[in-house]
Every structure is written in structure tokens, then in C-alpha cells.
Amino acid sequence: MIAHAQERQFNAIIFHKLDRFSRNIEHTLRYFRDLNSCDVSIASVTEDFDFTTAQGRVGISYDGAIRAMVFGKPFCRSCEE
């Protein structure tokens, strides 16, 4: 996906929910950073995050942490080790 973004094969990604894009918050933030540097817009149909700002990225991290508490699972795979 990142390689295609770098080749400018698309300019936007729209997904239903953040956890459908990636289940690992560390990967999600890295993908969003890389996609943003390729001028790819990112949008969730059901969640209102601004992925282009520091505040929006904090919101994503916070959301991942809350989901981890509620569902009793780590919000990143590296946390399982």
C-alpha cells in the first residue's frame, strides 16, 4: 500500500472503522505518517479523527488504549511480549 501511495496510484483511503484499517496502533500511526507524507487523505466513515494533526494522533492513541482496557487486550502487539 505504501509503495502504491509513493507511486501516486491513489490519493485517498476511506475505511469503515479504525480497527478495520489496522489492529495495531503503532502500525496505524506509522502508516498514517507515511501516507500523509505522500499526500494521501485518510478518512473513517464512522469515526471523527483528524489524522493530520498531533491532537488527532493523540486521539487515535487514546482510543486504542481505551479499547484495550474495555476488551482486556493490548492495543499493540509489542505490548503482548
pLDDT digits (tens, 9 = 90+) for 30-79: 888 899 899 998 888 888 877 778 887 788 778 777 777 776 655 555 44
What the chain holds in terms of domains, given with CATH numbers, is 2-80 (3.40.50.1390)
Write the burial class of residue 36 (CB in 10 Å: 0-12 exposed, 13-18 middle, 19+ buried): middle
Q: Which three cell numbers, joined as nine digits, stand for 23?
A: 489492529
Smallest Cα–Cα separation from 19: which of 45, 52, 50, 54?
Answer: 45
Say what the pTM is. 0.67
